[in-house]
C-alpha cells in the first residue's frame, strides 16, 4: 500500500512546483513597513500596487487609534465561544444593523472570515434537491461552497448571459424533477480582471426563471455605487440581490465579513451557518474596528473620491500609452502583456529592482499560456506622482519586453525550468 505522503514528496502541485525559483520573491514576498502606497521590499522602497486597502484605511490614524483602544479594552479573546453559545454582544448586533442599513438590506450576520463564511453560506442555502448555477470564473470560496452541495450544479460561461440562460433552462427542468429550487451565484466584481458581474442582466432573468441570487461583492463593497454599497447599487439592482456578501478584508482593511438579506433569511442562516455555529465569535476589537471603518465609509465620501481619482488616472494613463487593460469596470487594474513565464519573472524583477514598482503577477495556468497579467490595485493612499512614476516604468518595461531583453535575461531561468 502507498504511503499517503508519497504524492506530496513527488509533486508539490501546480504552484508549489515553482517554489524553488519563486518563493520569497514572486510568491510569499515580504512587504515591510506600514501599509501604504510606498513600502519596503527586500530593503528597497517600492510603490505598492498589490494591497486591497482600497480606501486607504489600513493605516489611517483614526482607524489605528480605535483599533489600539479596542485592543487595550477587550484584548483578543473577548468574547469567548460561538455566537449562539456565549460569543454574542450588543456591539456585534449594532455592527450587523449598521451593515444591513449600509447595503440596503433588512438584516445582516457577521462572519469570521470571508472565505469560510462564503463556503458556509452556500452550504446553508441549498439542500440536496436544489440546483446551483454559478459563473465558471468564481472565486475559490464559491467553488468550495459548491463542492459541499450534495445536489446538481451547473457552471455558466464567465459573465455570459446566454450561457446562464441555457443553464437556467437545464436547471429548471431538473428542479421540476427533484422538487428543489435554484441558486444563482455571481461576483459583484471579478477580482482578477476587474469586470463587474452582469447583475442587471442576471436579475432581468428573474422574469423568466424562478431563482434566488447570491452575490459575492468582496471588491465592490466600499468602492462602487453612490454610497459605496457595491456593485448592486452601482447597477441599480441591489434590491434584487437576495443574499449579499462582502468581506472586511478589502475596503474595510481588516478581518471578518458579513452577509445581508431579508430578516427571515438571516434568521434562518444564523441558526444554520456551520462556520459560525461551530467557531468562536468575531473578536471584539475587530467588531469595534469595523464599526469605526463603516462610519468612515458613510461619512467620508472623499475616501472613495480619492480612490477613483487614482483609478482613473492610472487606467486612462495606461490606455493612453497603448496598454491593454482588458475590460475592467472597477478599481482592479489588469495590464496584459505577451510573454513566457521566465520573461514575466525577468520583467517583474526589473520592475521591482530598477523602477521600485511592486505589483502582483499572474501567469498560466490562471490565465492563457503566453500572456502575462500584471494586476494593480489602486488605493486612496496613492498619489498622482505614484501613478506618473508607474506609467513611466511600464513604458520602459514594455520596450524591454519587445526588444527581447527579458528573453535574454531569462535564458538561464528557462533552462532551469526546462522550457524552450
Ligand atoms: C471575491 C472574494 N471573495 C471572498 C474572499 C475571501 O475573503 P476573506 O479574505 O475575508 O476570507 C476574497 C478574498 O479576500 C475575494 O476576493
Same-domain pairing of 171 and 262: yes
> Which domain, by its residues, includes 169?
61-299
Residue percentage of the chain with pLDDT more than 90: 89
Same-domain pairing of 272 and 398: no
Nearest CA to ligand 1 atom 3: 218
Mean pLDDT value of segment 214-232: 98
Q: Quick check: CB of 216 below 6 Å from ligand 1?
A: yes
Distance 218 CA to ligand 1 centre (A): 6
Cα–Cα distances in Å, from 408 out to 25, 351, 417?
A: 20, 16, 15
Residue 417 has pLDDT above 70, yes or no: no
- Report yes or no on 390 lying in a domain: yes
Query: Which atom of ligand 1 has the smallest separation from the CA of 52?
Result: 14
Contact between 194 and 223 (Cβ < 8 Å): no
User: Higher pLDDT residue, 350 or 367?
Assistant: 350
Same-domain pairing of 350 and 225: no
Contact between 243 and 121 (Cβ < 8 Å): yes
Same-domain pairing of 291 and 318: no
Same-domain pairing of 30 and 91: no
Same-domain pairing of 22 and 105: no
Residue 19 has pLDDT above 90, yes or no: no
pLDDT digits (tens, 9 = 90+) for 100-144: 999 999 999 999 999 999 999 999 999 999 999 999 999 999 999
pLDDT digits (tens, 9 = 90+) for 159-177: 999 999 999 999 999 999 9
- Report yes or no on 212 lying in a domain: yes
- Report yes or no on 278 lying in a domain: yes
Contact between 333 and 314 (Cβ < 8 Å): yes
The secondary element (H helix, E strand) that includes residue 313 is: helix 301-320
Query: Taking all residues of the chain, what is their mean pLDDT, rounded to a whole number?
Result: 95
d(CA 366, CA 17): 15
Boundary-marking domain end, from 278, 299, 320 = 299
The pLDDT assigned to 394 comes to: 97
d(CA 39, CA 133): 41
Boundary-marking domain end, from 270, 299, 328 = 299
What is the count of structural domains for the chain?
Answer: 2
Contact between 325 and 335 (Cβ < 8 Å): yes
Cell numbers for 372, please give them.
Answer: 502575462
Residue 273 has pLDDT above 50, yes or no: yes
Same-domain pairing of 272 and 406: no
- Report yes or no on 33 lying in a domain: yes
Distance 193 CA to ligand 1 centre (A): 15
Torsion angle of the four alpha carbons 145, 241, 211, 96, in this order, in degrees rounded to the nearest 10: 60
Mean pLDDT value of segment 283-304: 98
- Report yes or no on 281 lying in a domain: yes
Q: Quick check: CB of 257 below 6 Å from ligand 1?
A: yes
Query: Which atom of ligand 1 has the smallest separation from the CA of 190?
Result: 1
pTM of the model: 0.96
Same-domain pairing of 156 and 190: yes
Boundary-marking domain end, from 253, 271, 299 = 299
The pLDDT assigned to 12 comes to: 82
pLDDT digits (tens, 9 = 90+) for 23-81: 899 889 999 999 999 999 999 999 999 999 999 999 999 999 999 999 999 999 999 99
Buried b (16+ CB within 10 A) or exposed e, 253-280: bbbbbbbbbeeebbeebbeebebbeebb
Q: Look at the block and give the residue holding cell 473578536.
A: 283
Contact between 221 and 257 (Cβ < 8 Å): no
CATH assignment of the domain containing 148: 3.40.640.10
Sheet with 31-32, edge to edge strand ranges = 31-32, 38-41, 44-48, 357-358
Nearest CA to ligand 1 atom 10: 114
Contact between 229 and 102 (Cβ < 8 Å): yes
The secondary element (H helix, E strand) that includes residue 245 is: strand 243-247
Distance 287 CA to ligand 1 centre (A): 18
Residue 308 has pLDDT above 50, yes or no: yes
Q: Quick check: CB of 120 below 6 Å from ligand 1?
A: no
- Report yes or no on 36 lying in a domain: yes
Q: Quick check: CB of 74 below 6 Å from ligand 1?
A: no
User: Higher pLDDT residue, 329 or 362?
Assistant: 329
- Report yes or no on 85 lying in a domain: yes
Burial of 27 (0-12, 13-18, 19+ CB in 10 A): middle
Instruction: Report H helices in 17-160.
Output: 19-22, 61-74, 90-102, 114-125, 140-148
- Report yes or no on 1 lying in a domain: no
Distance 22 CA to ligand 1 centre (A): 24
Q: Which of 115, 116, 377 to mutate to test the pocket of ligand 1 (most atoms within 8 A of CB)?
A: 115
Same-domain pairing of 254 and 142: yes
Same-domain pairing of 75 and 194: yes
Q: Quick check: CB of 118 below 6 Å from ligand 1?
A: yes
Greatest alpha-carbon pair distance for the chain in Å reads: 64
Nearest CA to ligand 1 atom 2: 218
Same-domain pairing of 293 and 337: no
Nearest CA to ligand 1 atom 14: 249
Q: Which of 116, 140, 218 to mutate to test the pocket of ligand 1 (most atoms within 8 A of CB)?
A: 218
Query: Which atom of ligand 1 has the smallest separation from the CA of 117?
Result: 11
Same-domain pairing of 154 and 226: yes
pLDDT digits (tens, 9 = 90+) for 331-365: 999 999 999 888 998 999 999 999 999 999 888 87
CATH assignment of the domain containing 308: 3.90.1150.10
Amino acid at each position: 500500500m502507498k504511503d499517503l505522503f508519497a504524492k506530496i514528496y513527488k509533486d508539490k502541485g501546480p504552484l508549489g512546483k515553482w517554489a524553488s525559483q519563486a518563493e520569497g520573491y514572486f510568491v510569499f514576498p515580504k512587504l515591510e513597513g506600514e501599509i501604504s502606497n510606498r513600502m519596503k521590499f527586500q530593503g528597497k522602497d517600492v510603490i505598492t500596487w498589490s494591497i486591497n486597502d482600497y480606501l486607504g484605511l489600513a493605516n489611517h490614524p483614526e482607524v489605528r487609534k480605535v483599533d489600539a483602544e479596542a485592543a487595550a479594552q477587550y484584548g483578543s479573546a473577548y468574547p469567548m465561544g460561538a455566537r449562539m453559545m456565549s460569543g454574542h454582544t450588543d456591539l456585534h448586533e449594532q455592527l450587523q444593523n449598521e451593515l444591513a442599513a449600509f447595503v440596503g438590506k433588512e438584516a445582516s450576520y457577521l462572519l469570521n472570515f470571508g472565505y469560510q463564511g462564503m463556503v458556509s453560506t452556500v452550504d446553508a442555502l441549498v439542500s440536496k434537491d436544489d440546483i446551483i448555477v454559478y459563473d465558471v470564473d468564481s472565486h475559490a470560496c464559491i467553488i468550495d461552497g459548491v463542492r459541499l452541495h450534495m445536489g446538481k450544479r451547473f457552471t455558466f460561461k464567465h459573465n455570459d448571459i446566454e450561457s446562464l440562460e441555457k443553464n437556467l433552462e437545464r436547471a429548471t427542468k431538473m428542479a421540476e424533477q427533484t422538487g428543489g429550487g435554484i441558486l444563482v451565484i455571481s461576483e459583484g466584481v471579478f477580482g482578477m480582471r476587474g469586470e463587474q458581474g452582469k447583475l442587471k442582466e442576471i436579475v432581468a432573468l428573474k422574469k423568466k426563471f424562478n431563482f434566488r441570487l447570491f452575490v459575492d461583492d468582496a471588491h465592490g463593497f466600499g468602492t462602487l455605487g453612490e454610497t459605496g454599497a457595491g456593485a448592486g447599487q452601482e447597477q441599480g439592482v441591489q434590491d434584487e440581490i437576495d443574499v449579499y456578501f462582502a468581506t472586511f478584508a478589502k475596503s474595510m482593511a481588516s478581518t471578518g465579513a458579513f452577509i445581508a438579506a431579508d430578516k427571515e433569511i438571516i434568521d434562518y442562516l444564523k441558526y444554520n451557518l456551520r462556520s459560525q455555529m461551530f467557531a468562536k465569535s468575531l473578536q471584539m476589537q475587530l467588531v469595534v474596528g469595523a464599526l469605526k471603518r463603516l462610519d468612515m465609509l458613510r461619512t467620508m465620501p472623499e475616501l472613495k473620491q480619492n480612490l477613483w481619482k487614482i483609478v482613473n488616472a492610472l487606467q486612462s494613463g495606461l490606455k493612453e500609452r497603448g496598454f491593454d487593460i482588458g475590460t475592467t469596470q472597477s478599481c482592479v487594474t489588469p495590464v496584459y502583456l505577451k510573454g513566457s513565464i521566465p520573461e514575466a519573472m525577468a520583467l517583474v524583477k526589473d520592475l521591482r529592482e530598477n523602477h521600485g514598482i511592486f505589483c502582483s503577477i499572474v501567469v498560466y495556468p490562471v490565465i492563457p499560456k503566453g500572456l502575462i497579467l500584471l494586476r494593480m490595485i489602486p488605493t486612496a493612499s496613492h498619489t498622482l506622482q505614484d501613478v506618473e512614476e508607474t506609467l513611466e516604468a511600464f513604458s520602459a518595461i514594455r520596450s524591454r519586453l519587445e526588444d527581447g531583453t527579458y528573453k535574454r535575461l531569462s535564458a538561464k531561468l528557462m533552462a532551469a525550468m526546462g522550457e524552450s
